[in-house]
Amino acid sequence: MSEVINSATVIAIAYLLGSIPSAYIIGWLAKGIDIRKVGDGRIGASATFHNIGILWGILVGFTDFSKGAVAILIAKSMTVPEPIVLLAGLIAIIGHDWSIFLHFKGGKGAATTGGVLSALMLRELLIALSLVGVLFYFTRRSTLATAITLSSLPLLLFALPFTEASGLLVFYAPMLGIPMFIKHLSMPKPTETEIRESW
């Protein structure tokens, strides 16, 4: 019974933690700006970076990253089974993307996804990012870079000699891309001006 309660607590904490609207809070506190009402209405580090300021965008990115990492660390500290730990990470991302504090709206969850993965497979994530970083530098296609990163992690977990990963963990990273893909389809496409600004 205690395991069920711990698991339910972990999931609830993960969702509430992920739901903290960092971009909205920081935009309002920094400059009194509702991030939902500027630019294309996206809610995240990139929108904060372009509409409020570089340092504020970095702060939002770090905060969103931390939400994912902390959700995993809390789950591990409560000694719940591995599937619940992994579910907590996914739920934190869902909380970010569909925040209860923003009427179930939110960002795309890239930073929060990075936080989840860093807490679970930091070495493999750094290797994947170092390889994909070159591609992103030349293409500036963050969606493509993210998709390749998530797809390459199972290969790294399976192939690298220093990695001992369960079957669940090996296929976990691509699954985390599902909420991001759904958000990508549902969000308005950036204008040519916004694409140029992202460079």
- 120-152 pLDDT, tens digit per residue, is 999 889 988 888 877 777 666 667 777 888 888
Delimit the domains of the chain by residue range: 2-198
Q: What pLDDT does 144 receive?
A: 73
Please report which confidence band the pLDDT of residue 196 belongs to, taking 50, 70 and 90 as the band edges: very low
Tell me what pLDDT residue 195 has: 41
Q: What is the pTM of this model?
A: 0.85
Which has the closest alpha carbon to 107: 175, 26, 169, 31? 26
Spatial distance between the Cα atoms of 153 and 114, rounded to a whole number of angstroms: 12
On the question of pLDDT at 71 being above 90, the answer is yes
15 pLDDT above the threshold of 70: yes
C-alpha triplet 66, 152, 166: angle, nearest 5°: 75
Give the pair of three-digit tokens for residue 44.
């995240």
Which residues are paired to 105 by β-bridges? 99
**Per the structure block, which two tokens stand in for 5?**
């309660």
